Structure 1
Amino acid sequence: MENQVQYSMPRIGDKAPDFMTTTTTGPLKLSEYNKDSWVIFFSHPADFTPVCTTEMSGFAVEMDDFFAKHNTKLLGLSIDSIHSHIAWVDNVKKNTGVYFRFPIIADLDMSISKLYGMLQPNESETAAVRAVFFIDPKGIIRLIMYYPLNVGRNMHEIKRALLALQTSDANKVALPLNWEPGDKVIVPPPKNLADYEARVQSDYEMVDFYLAKKAL
């Protein structure tokens, strides 16, 4: 069996590993950028590539109209130089009118990609996979998505997942399959008989005593 280099991979519930880095908008320290807001931190394999261009454009288009309105900052990364990033930003802006104004990390030494498990050798040893980390205002990783190099992400699902996390936090509820904003949510199961009796007498939508839904 060949020995393979093992890279760290932060897990849900972990404190997001902090770092200081160079980006297209200047120096950035994650813990400071993350302060008092959510951060969606995502990697792409390379600049000037077709799938990555569609994805980065999707994030850019939603930056103000969706993410900023939901207290969320964007942070991109690829294993390219700052000069390549800026040239790509310029190229996309000239060709499509879409401007990548969020910071994009130049991770030439691959240190941040390795720190976040974005380099997966069986996929590629020199290009980051399409990872997405949802980091809450306390700096905790709440949700992780991984996509291979040849499959683009689903922007609707990224937005839906962010709203689900924020809705769950704000209301102390869980979200059922295919939940969308406006749908009923799941009330936590009863912890004792008093909770159970109150639930039976409530106006919740009762599938059973352990599965009850309500509108927000």
Structure 2
Amino acid sequence: MPGLTIGDVIPDLLVDTTHGPIQLHEFIGDGWAVMFSHPGDFTPVCTTELGKMALYAEEFEKRGVKLLGFSCEDVASHVEWIKDIEAYTPGCNVKYPIVADPNRGVIRQLNMVDPDQKDSSGEELPSRALHVVGPDKRIKLSILYPATTGRNMDEVLRAVDSLQMTAKYKVATPVNWKLGEKVVISPSIPNQDADKMFPQGYETVKLPSKKEYLRFTQIRSRL
């Protein structure tokens, strides 16, 4: 059976966390969520990641995004690990919940299992996976890294900005785009419709093909 991927509705699981039991769909509510898994507690890359995510929590909150971490140890282990996370990253406060999944049942259903990595007892380990989930409870973006490569939280935030921008307007975001920069108008929109939809105007790039598909416009978006 294929794993959970972009466009799929996440299962409405009841999970145990450092904040008590959480029903996933209720947790997301009418907003967005970033769900991110880690190979294990008290591991070096994961410790750096969770601290940095905590530092970025306010930025995600401004965007209506909730954070939810996943690791395969129990709640008691998570609570102790948080002390190390906060000690390593000065100024961070891990306020987001971390799911306990010692039986690996949750990560299997969320397609967050690393097929090649096992712990000392032969159990599956979580991959370094991340899902951005929209208000409709569908996965809008997935990022998968190997255990040896830590994620870039600036990129996660940038991706969320892009997803929210393109969900609201008929646009796409070009390479290396950041919030506040110009976006491109969808090729499916003819010029006569674009004139009405984007009264602020747009610029059509002249290309050798003579095709007018690369059109940039500026959308002022406030958090």
Same fold per superposition (TM over 0.5): yes
Amino acid at match of 1:155: M
Q: How many residues align?
A: 207
Q: Distance in 1 between matches of 2:192 and 2:152?
A: 43
| Alpha-carbon distance in structure 2 between the residues aligned to 1:33 and 1:214 | 35
Q: Measure how far apart 1:138 and its partner are.
A: 1.4
List aligned pairs for 1:1-216, cutoff 5 A.
9-64=3-58, 66-94=59-87, 96-97=89-90, 98-124=92-118, 126-191=124-189, 194-195=192-193, 203-207=201-205, 208-216=211-219
Q: CA RMSD in A?
A: 2.2
Give the conservation status (yes or no) of the 8 Å contact 2:39–2:46: yes
Q: Do 2:51 and 2:86's aligned partners in 1 also have CA atoms closer than 8 Å?
A: no
1:197 and 1:99 mapped to 2: Cα distance? 47
User: Structure 1 pair 94/181, CA: closer, same or farther in 2 (3 Å)?
Assistant: closer
Distance in 1 (alpha carbons) for counterparts of 2:193 and 2:72: 53
- 1:90 Cα offset (Å): 2.5
Cα distance between partner residues in 2 of 1:191 and 1:46: 46
Which amino acid counterpart does residue 9 of structure 2 have in structure 1? Answer: K
> In the superposition, relative to structure 1, how do residues 195 and 130 fare at CA in structure 2: closer, same or farther (>3 Å)?
same
Contact residue 72 and residue 101 of structure 2 kept, 8 A: yes
Q: 1:195 to 1:91 in 2, by over 3 A?
A: closer
State, as a whole percentage, how many aligned pairs show the same letter.
37
When residues 110 and 49 of structure 1 are mapped into structure 2, their CA distance, relative to the original with a 3 A threshold, is same
Corresponding residue number in structure 2 for 1:3: none
Conserved in 2, the CA contact under 8 Å of 1:196 and 1:209? no
Of the structure 1 ranges 137-146 and 87-96, higher mean CA displacement relative to structure 2 is found in 87-96
CA contact (8 A) 2:48 2:88 kept: no
Change (3 A) 1:128 1:190: closer
Q: CA deviation at 1:93?
A: 3.2
Task: Compute the TM-score of the two structures, normalised by the length of structure 2.
Answer: 0.85
State how far apart, in whole Å, the 1-side matches of 2:138 and 2:204 are. 33
- State the Cα deviation string for residues 4-61 of structure 1 (Å, max 9, x = none): xx7x521111111220011001100000001011000000111111110100001111
Q: Name whichever of 146-155 and 96-105 sits farther off.
A: 96-105
In the superposition, relative to structure 1, how do residues 196 and 203 fare at CA in structure 2: closer, same or farther (>3 Å)?
A: closer
Change (3 A) 1:180 1:113: same
Shift of residue 133 of structure 1?
Answer: 0.2
Q: Is the 8 A contact 2:48 2:89 kept in 1?
A: no
Q: Offset of 1:191 from its aligned partner? A: 5.0
How big is the shift at 1:203?
4.2
TM-score normalised per structure 1:
0.88
